[in-house]
Structure 1
Amino acid sequence: MFLELPMLQRRRSSKWVEYPSDVLPAFVAEMDVSLAPPIRDALLEAIEIGDLGYAEPGGVFESFAGFAKRRFGWSPDAGRMRVVPDVMTGVVEVLRVLTAPGDGVVITPPVYPPFFVDIREAGRRIVEVPLADGELDLDGLERAFVAGAKAFLLCNPHNPTGRVLEPERLEAVATLAERHGVLVLSDEIHGPLTLPGARHTPFASLGDSRSVMFTSASKAFNTAGLKCALAIAGSDEVDAELDRLPEELQYRAGLLGVIASEVAFDQGDEWLDQVIDEVSGRHRLLATLLAEHLPSVGYREPQAGYLAWLDCRALDLGDDPAAAFLAKGRVALEPGPGFGTPGRGFARLNVGTSETLLTEAVRRMAAAVA
């Protein structure tokens, strides 16, 4: 399932071409897995018959509804779903139609770096409410809402910490948002990768709200380059407002992405369960490797996903320890400062790879600070 270096180096994705060949890439959120067989077969059939035209939703809404029922115990309304090219494109376009230029949008750093870039692209203003010891600061959120923020871009499961929010905490967010008239945009792209011991609760499963949830098969099934995600309105009223989205937005998604997503949601459970089991084992392996080779690096195993948030401040490598790991160890991690000021001294490591390559990554990190 997880491929080794010679096969991976044949790939042309950004993970494998951004750095010279002597650098081991462990930065971008892309797994080193072979494609799930049902997805591979569906894509090969589409290519064989030349089915490479403009995207239509087909059965992807119903497929996701079935997936959500099996995985999350939630039956979403397929009628409230829309195809978008990817989560962040969807976020930008929804902000453009549901908020006004200059409106404040709350984010909770350390958080996914494109949140900073894309909120500005939408012409909105960033309002930071940092996590408090890895948890949402509900008091801070309320202060931001009272001060006039119009939207909250929630990341659940959280990237980079891998924290999965419990229903009670999500309910508290929903209550605050409703009280102050705040739009909630919930990025749930890592939800399908929730690890054993945790359970993902879709924000839209809490009941009707002024919210839009975003999800995709792209992270769980490693199909980001195929371009397909879903935007799901939290109420009929919001769904009606989303009619103002650009009509051509759907056609900016890829038909192969829609096909792959439909098959993933319909037929991918067994493969996904194997991936989750493997990823959970990689996190345990990382904890062991760090204890042996870099015991001063802080690491809390996540509840979802294949990303590890590493506290490297004790190594005295400055604000961006990833720069030292790259320069001296020839291993590329995602720089912590890109996740906001609270990310200084941190780095994000992708464990979605083979045991061999994960071990080599930690070995190189240790060599860089030896």
Structure 2
Amino acid sequence: MDLSAKIKGIKYKPLICRDLDLFEFNDLAKALTSCASFILNINKENKVAVSWWVSAKRTRSYPYARVYDTLGFSGKKITIIPIVKDEGKDGDRDFLQWDTVSLMSLLGVYVIIAYYDEAEPSKRYGNKITNQRFNISYLKEQIKNILSYQSDALHWNLAHIDNVGKIGQKALESYDRISKKLGIALHSRQSAVKRINNLLKGKEEFINLSRTLAEKAQRRERLTVQPKENLSGTKAIITIQNYLGGFYYFTTDEVEIKGKDVYLIEGKHSKTNSLPSLEDIKDGLLKMILFTNLEDVKADGENYNPIAVLKLTVENHLNEEQLSSSQKKILKLLREEAKVNNFQVILR
């Protein structure tokens, strides 16, 4: 099923954000090695909430949960994403996708497209690197630029995309140095250069390239059931248009139409635990933020009332009585968040 919708703005009150540690601006490197999300104290007048992605791919290290934890902060929210992460020939290589930047724009989060310039050899694999670290001077410069930037996150992110070619080149040069220094083979530079050259053509090419890949991935995802999903309905593609006319493509794990209501269901499943992990739940809540702010939802030309649903399932049925006290506390807060933000929680 293909759905269309519009978002004019985001209104949402997160309740499960963890308390974020406070770091001084000069301790940014320390913050990045010790916390997935944190508050950065720039000076007496300015603080920002910062999260960072280990990889550009959203399925690694729960980046959505990291971003979610910053959303309760009232000031500017920043997320740092590597344009490319190359783990070496025996590891993965991921590139930044336009839809990732799009989602952050919709959430009002400023994106810093970054690059790694330090790493260590893996002790387990001959052609793999680990403990990759960002260029801190570059990050500090970009954070200062965001502080002085007067427009919203969407406009910053669109303008920042103009620099992806230069950032991509710096990333490849850094990986060349890392490979030479550690004597470890990385993935083909030729194929990486091809991707970076596409980015060099500018923002529109980057958008078109990533959008095509995102649409293909979206359609693949619609045909597969992930191990962390336990679903019974139909998957759907949802195309969201923002107030500037930009189009963003997402998938919903499950969709059900009952009368004039369309239920947009995000599923999180656990095979081994009595409840999906807190990171999985927060990952699902990022979709709830989108789904609870949709307007003008249509399917096959018909208008529908959207109802956002977060569905939590476990392998042999979810029994609340068997949950630990901390899990019960999470569920209580989750239900409060659902009530405040007008979405449903299903436990099975």
TM range (shorter): under 0.3
Is the strand fraction higher in 1 or 2?
Answer: 2
Taking structure 2 as the reference length, the TM-score comes to: 0.28
- Report the structure, 1 or 2, having the larger helix content: 1
